[in-house]
Structure 1
Amino acid sequence: MKKQSTQWLLSAAAVGVAGIVFSQSYGVAVAKTDMDGFQVTPEQQMTTRQVAALLDRSHYLNQPLDKEMGRKILAMYIDNLDPNHTLFLQSDVDEFTKKYGDNFAERLKRGDLSAGVAIFERYRKRSNEYFELAKKRLNTKVNLKRNDTIILDREDEPRFKSVKAQRDYWERQIAFQLMSITLGQEDEKAKEKVFLDNPDITRGQDLVRNDQRSPNEILLNRITRQQAQMQRLKDDEIMETILNTAMLTYDPHSNYYAPIQATELQIQSSLQLEGIGVSIRPDRKNPDYTRIVTLVDGGPAAKTGQIKPNDLIIGIAEDGKTMQDVVGWSTREIVALIRGKRGTSVTLKVRQPNAPEASARTVSIVRDVIEQEESGVKHRVIEVQRPGIDDTPKRIGVLEIPSFYLNYRARRSGQDYRSVSIDTQRAIEALNKENIDGMVVDLRNNPGGSLDEVARMLGLFIKEGPLVQIRDNRGNVQVYNDEDGGKQLYDGKMVVITNLASASASEIFAAAIQDYGRGLVVGSTTTGKGSAQIQLDNLALGSATLTQRKFYRITGGSTQNKGVVPDVELVNIYDDATFGERSQKYPLKWDTIKTAAYKPEGKFSSDTLATLNQQSKIRQTTNPQFVYLSTLNKIRKMEDEKKPIKINIDSRRAKMKQIEQQTLAAENKRQIDSGEKPYANWNTYQAAIDAKFEERSQMKADERPELPEDEAFVKEAAYLMLDASPKSPKVAGEELDNDSIKIDAETNKAVVVE
């Protein structure tokens, strides 16, 4: 594979790090406005000018940041703040459009955040109006047996034209939330009775919350917490909202990250963070508290001997600063305080659940680098046997690739580093020693990552030739090639599993395997994220990802929007209308470029694929796990939040019971068909699920048993791989050129012109 000087990011989350410097400055003063305490710093002004210049001059679309684009950004900013159209009145939107529509772009170019801040403060004001109305209503008895309705998903609904209409909706929203909490409490108490009557079902976990609060108290507490979190939003986070919206208006994968989020980006790309080595989540019994779930073996927290699983975090003090009470804080806020540079210290105030406040312990911990070993490539061997075909079970290697990660900074500085290609090479070497009969590469839920890494990965499976084509905004095309002289670390049978959450670099991998006829691709059509980003981590504040390239299959077809269509369809567990590139507001368009000359290693005929699809459909209609997942898909469609829902607790309870009965029936059919004991009732089923989830959450990732519904995809992929027989190309060793291939616009697959 040719060495590249730039690290391209191919991920749904645009993860990775590249050392690009951007420091243009336009010394224009920010217009003075009422910004309600927002103190604009020189760094924020500089960052805003930098981001505006990037969009104006360097984005793939070559779209200037002009007046028209400014209006588009403004409209999206308003929608992003209030996507459900319940907070801003139509008069608010009209005012913002009239006041800022023609100058929003110019303001950004000058580093002037005042328009965005003014709109944000109106959003905060409207939110507080809702919070205050809700708190007032929750101090009274709310009628839950009304005859009116509510539309929960108002994205396509018009904004309210009057305060009266808005307040009426808020009243109905409060009633619906109370109704949902009341029904949830009924379910919770029924589950807790199962726990008390059958202690063995808890698997040793303390799962009885015994929440004595009324639904009004629970919702009041939730709203108070949300209001406090909104008041704690910092200037950098408001700036992030404004600038990120500007970038998203160009395409879904150009992003701005404030310093806190920039840290998260680095963690995703390198599988490494600097912190204390704990995992946290809201406490089951009281979500106001954050609970420590597990400790990383050998991590800073574990080494103190004073931090224990189940500890509740009630206070945090950063190095040399005053202890802050963090009860009611979100996990994101708490993570932001805990993480920091290696060698610095953080002090936690913790106590065990059900212990008095006086028993709280104060523990100082020195932060260190935490390697997230569990997040990398995993491999294992399974055995599958086809009835009537295999006399003995076939040994199948399974490679689970969570992302195409790379610690780019460590590599650039000459340090030892982790990467997906290194870990995959080791995994393949281990599997080759196991005398496997085939390999399943599982790319489900893989968001992508580094272009260099996916190219190296493909080189382990493909002999030689082009792997992916990259085109810039000037039409220049660069081809990534595997140039290792025809070496293949693994040359046996293989199959790739994808789903709607397989994105970007995952799509490059799946497309190349499919185009070379190297193996089958099975599952669901992928995300359709066919763009490449450069990451800029030398902005004045935070970092940004900017789309500057699109990538194309070696056949010339883009994966943008259309994604990679599998050779064999398996049950799709995601909703196409709300997930993936095709559901985004401003996605880049699908198109094609010229084919790169390449030599297929095999070819699955249309007859072979038709037979495989037919055989798989038969198995999916009889496999308990696939039948269960297909039934759940149908049950989910029973509730449409874009349609009016009656605000009557009796009616709602009856609808929920209907959904519960159908879900339980689906689960019990799965249990019986799998040779397991069915659940006696809904409450017993829910109690068992809670207990299993709690037990799994406390296990290390590599110790958790495979979920049967997940394993069904792996085994079905293995069956398909073993049944498939690719034919050699029409002329052995013949290169396919531009004239011999065309792209089917419907399936986005290459078709050889005979």
Structure 2
Amino acid sequence: MNFLKNNFILAVFTLLVATASCSFTNDSIDPGDKEKEQLLVNLISHVLKRNHFSPADLTDEFSKDIFENYIQDLDPGKRYFLQSDYEEFQAYQYLIDDQIRDSKVDLFNLTYERLLKRQEESEKIFAELIEVPFDFTIDERINTDYEKIAYSKDKKELENHWRKILKLSALGSYYDKIEEQKEELKENPDKKQKSLEELEKETRAEMKKSMLENFDNNDDVERLDYFALFINAITTHFDPHTNYFPPQNKDRFDTSMSGKLEGIGARLQKKMDYISVLEIISGGPAWKSELIEVGDKILKVAQEKDTVATSIVGMRISDAVELIKGPKGTNVILTLKKVDGSIEEITLTRDVVQIEETFAKSVIGEDDEYRFGFINLPKFYFDMEDANGRAAGNDIAEEIKRLKTEGMDGLILDLRNNGGGSLREVVEMAGLFVEEGPVVQVGLKDKRTRTLRDSDSGRILWEGPLVIMVNEFSASASEILAAALQDYDRAVIIGSAQTFGKGTVQNFEDLNQWVRNNQFGDLGYVKLTTQKFYRINGGSTQLEGVKSDVVTPGRFSYIEVGERDEKFPLPYDEIEKADYKKFTGYTNLVETIEKAQKRVNENPNFKLLDENAKWLSDQREDNDIPLNLTAYAERLDRLEKQTEKFESLSDYKNNLNFDMLSYEKALVKTDSALGDKREAWIRNLEKDIYVNEAVSVLKDLRMNNIKNDNKTKWSVKD
């Protein structure tokens, strides 16, 4: 029950702090900002009209949709704007299309300046409310479906809205303190008991500290960040994956796709003006130096040729990061306030830092009679700047070779929560499992299509049993690979009823290339949809996703997630089939799938998972929350009784054993952090019911006994 309750409270507080921001000043807005914004509107609208796969028509209906989405995104919790503000904004409801044509941003200027004003007012509201004790004996409730509630009519109503939100967040912590004290008194009856008033005061003090830290962090939000929100309200009307990327956002995207950066190898966070070290990345300069540790505060940054260090106290964290990172081989000098309070100056030589969580990883697993390989692929990564850099296709090939050395009889490829990546890597990876042939068909803007093929027929690395695991968040490139191997009858797909349903291809377009004598600095990029991809059987994964061969229930089975639940997705369609030969290496594919589905349907744990998913879906609709302690406790008690039947799910343990590969065992001897991560991963795999079923499928699959003649294992498509 504590797990359920704590997650609920965390969600409430996260929503609160994620949408609260204050302490903005509006002393002056650089006229150059407005000129730059007008230029960006002009450029982006031109690029979208010219290069988007299916450009949207600029109509009044288009304008209305953008207006509603933008205002909702700007103030999702209705914590700032009043009803009178909204009515004033409505003057632009049907004018955005005209403003785009004229390269105007009048609505943005109005809403941005009003937001700054309202945020400052809301910080004052918070400062006053947090000093007043909460009365948890009053019978009152809050509707947490903020999208459906009305804007506050006046400041008094807005203050009451803030009070209820703060009270809900405080109530969870207050309840926990009462329960914790009860447990402590059971163990030590002589311990001094705090009064309810003292516990309430502690709750407000903790909440005040957290909120002030959040307000301080949100000072980092700049005008360009809000302008990007406005622009993306426009771009996502073309389709959900067309977005504007300011320069720093593009850098972060590149890092996430390549899994590398050049810097010191430390993750940072900002709290109350101070930027401190949150994590040391294994293998990076900070880790190798042993001169810096988690919790150290960075006070100043100097480059090797600087005579004066730059203070980063109070600096926007993204700007501080820009100072600290830099090209491989260069030095950066950091002034640290160590955890023990001492002040030290250290010099680190920047290097290429690998972000290990980006890359494929594998373990060897076994039960009493079967040995299998398990590979997890978080994304289809590639290095946009270095053709010889790490790429998913090559890494998966290496993992397969290592697993074969370990003696695997079957292979599981885990694409759960893999949101996609490089189309090229999909083609490379498919070629590890199938003969030469088509992998995916690509539809172009002019209605032409082209087929991407695996041309390296000699590179097949694994011809044995293959299972691919997916869920609702397996998207894009994940869906291409799963679809291709399903169409070839090469793999059994296990997971959610369907995957995410993103059947489109995006490319980045540099906006700077369109401007001569640019006086505004880096203008950023547009990531826009330029193609749609299709299965080799002629179908599309757009909206439909990939239907699993063996459908397993999951926590999102009854919750709207996926492309089909976006507001403006591109439609589903089909094209002609490609010419391909199916894999005939399995002698019992259909029977194996039928047997597995029957096993899942009859499995009491899967039945319980399905029941839990239905319950979770129902709870998402329960947005009427009591703010009275007694009623709140009764609600939690009722939820606890309802969830008791699901507790066995958290105790589930499969009968599989997992072990790191030989080469990683050598690595963890000198990298304890990597060892800790692998051990945590293995513990999760040992509790994974889905992996257990995947292994059962591998064991059921029977291979054609002809091992040496590849051609006998492929037939002309049906």
TM-score after normalising by structure 1: 0.77
Matched AA of 2:367: V
CA contact (8 A) 1:511 1:553 kept: yes
1:468 Cα shift? 0.8
Q: Within 5 Å, give how 1:11-50 maps onto structure 2.
A: 37-41=29-33, 44-50=37-43
Q: Within 5 Å, give how 1:133-532 maps onto structure 2.
A: 133-186=125-178, 214-280=202-268, 292-308=277-293, 310-313=294-297, 315-317=299-301, 319=303, 322-326=310-314, 335=321, 338-342=324-328, 348-353=334-339, 355-356=340-341, 359-385=342-368, 393-411=369-387, 416-485=388-457, 487-524=459-496, 525-532=498-505
Secondary structure at 1:382's aligned position in 2?
Answer: strand
Query: Please, what is the CA RMSD of the aligned residues?
Result: 3.7
Cα distance change on mapping 1:312 and 1:192 into 2, 3 Å? farther
Secondary structure at 2:472's aligned position in 1?
Answer: coil
Per-residue Cα deviation, 1:606-630 (whole angstroms, up to 9, x for no partner): 6653332011333x425xxx57755
Aligned to 2:507: 534
462-471 or 369-378: bigger deviation: 369-378
| Cα distance in 1 for residues equivalent to 2:186 and 2:239 | 50
Cα distance change on mapping 1:274 and 1:187 into 2, 3 Å? farther
1:343 Cα shift? 5.5
CA contact (8 A) 2:255 2:261 kept: yes
1:407 Cα shift? 0.3
Aligned to 1:647: 627
Verify: 1:712 aligned to 2:689, yes or no: yes
CA contact (8 A) 1:439 1:494 kept: yes
Per-residue Cα deviation, 1:145-168 (whole angstroms, up to 9, x for no partner): 221211112223343444444333
Secondary structure at 1:142's aligned position in 2?
Answer: coil
698-707 or 452-461: bigger deviation: 698-707
| Cα distance in 1 for residues equivalent to 2:409 and 2:117 | 63
| Cα distance in 1 for residues equivalent to 2:46 and 2:453 | 33
| Cα distance in 2 for residues equivalent to 1:44 and 1:645 | 42
Q: Between the two proteins, what is the percent identity of the paired residues?
A: 28
Matched AA of 2:231: L
Count of aligned pairs: 645
Aligned to 1:747: none
| Cα distance in 1 for residues equivalent to 2:76 and 2:152 | 13
Per-residue Cα deviation, 1:216-243 (whole angstroms, up to 9, x for no partner): 2222233333333333322332232222
Matched AA of 2:691: V
Verify: 1:561 aligned to 2:543, yes or no: yes
CA contact (8 A) 1:89 1:160 kept: yes
1:489 Cα shift? 1.7
| Cα distance in 2 for residues equivalent to 1:726 and 1:158 | 62
Greater RCO structure (CA 8 Å; 6+ sep): 1
Matched AA of 2:249: Q
464-473 or 708-717: bigger deviation: 708-717
Per-residue Cα deviation, 1:115-169 (whole angstroms, up to 9, x for no partner): 3132123223223322221211111222222212111122233434444443332
Per-residue Cα deviation, 1:411-455 (whole angstroms, up to 9, x for no partner): 1xxxx3110111111111222233321111111111110001101
1:405 Cα shift? 0.6
Q: Within 5 Å, give how 1:556-595 maps onto structure 2.
A: 556-574=538-556, 577-595=559-577
575-584 or 489-498: bigger deviation: 575-584
Cα distance change on mapping 1:127 and 1:630 into 2, 3 Å? farther
Q: Within 5 Å, give how 1:2-151 maps onto structure 2.
A: 37-41=29-33, 44-65=37-58, 68-98=61-91, 100-108=92-100, 111-151=103-143
1:281 Cα shift? 5.8
Aligned to 2:662: none
Matched AA of 2:299: G
Secondary structure at 1:408's aligned position in 2?
Answer: coil
Cα distance change on mapping 1:482 and 1:322 into 2, 3 Å? closer
Aligned to 1:388: none
CA contact (8 A) 1:495 1:522 kept: yes
CA contact (8 A) 1:244 1:257 kept: no
Secondary structure at 1:431's aligned position in 2?
Answer: helix
1:592 Cα shift? 1.6
**Which structure dedicates a bigger proportion of its chain to helix?**
2
567-576 or 471-480: bigger deviation: 567-576
Matched AA of 1:144: F
CA contact (8 A) 1:62 1:473 kept: no
Cα distance change on mapping 1:44 and 1:335 into 2, 3 Å? same
Aligned to 1:13: none
Aligned to 2:20: none
Matched AA of 1:296: I
| Cα distance in 1 for residues equivalent to 2:188 and 2:58 | 63
The answer for unaligned runs of 5 or more in structure 1 is: 1-33, 198-210, 386-392, 676-695, 741-754
TM-score after normalising by structure 2: 0.80
Cα distance change on mapping 1:628 and 1:432 into 2, 3 Å? same
Secondary structure at 2:380's aligned position in 1?
Answer: coil
| Cα distance in 1 for residues equivalent to 2:287 and 2:249 | 26
Secondary structure at 2:385's aligned position in 1?
Answer: helix
Cα distance change on mapping 1:298 and 1:121 into 2, 3 Å? same
| Cα distance in 1 for residues equivalent to 2:185 and 2:47 | 59
| Cα distance in 2 for residues equivalent to 1:700 and 1:118 | 51
Cα distance change on mapping 1:637 and 1:298 into 2, 3 Å? closer
Aligned to 1:613: 597
180-189 or 226-235: bigger deviation: 180-189
Cα distance change on mapping 1:713 and 1:132 into 2, 3 Å? same
Matched AA of 1:397: G
Q: 2:530 aligns with which of 548, 571, 586?
A: 548
Secondary structure at 2:241's aligned position in 1?
Answer: coil
CA contact (8 A) 2:78 2:146 kept: yes
CA contact (8 A) 2:601 2:607 kept: no
Cα distance change on mapping 1:173 and 1:297 into 2, 3 Å? closer
1:180 Cα shift? 2.2
1:568 Cα shift? 0.7
Cα distance change on mapping 1:186 and 1:661 into 2, 3 Å? farther
1:545 Cα shift? 0.8
CA contact (8 A) 1:500 1:579 kept: yes
Secondary structure at 1:155's aligned position in 2?
Answer: coil
Per-residue Cα deviation, 1:610-655 (whole angstroms, up to 9, x for no partner): 332011333x425xxx577557546645644653111112221232
Per-residue Cα deviation, 1:697-725 (whole angstroms, up to 9, x for no partner): 88553343411465432221011132245
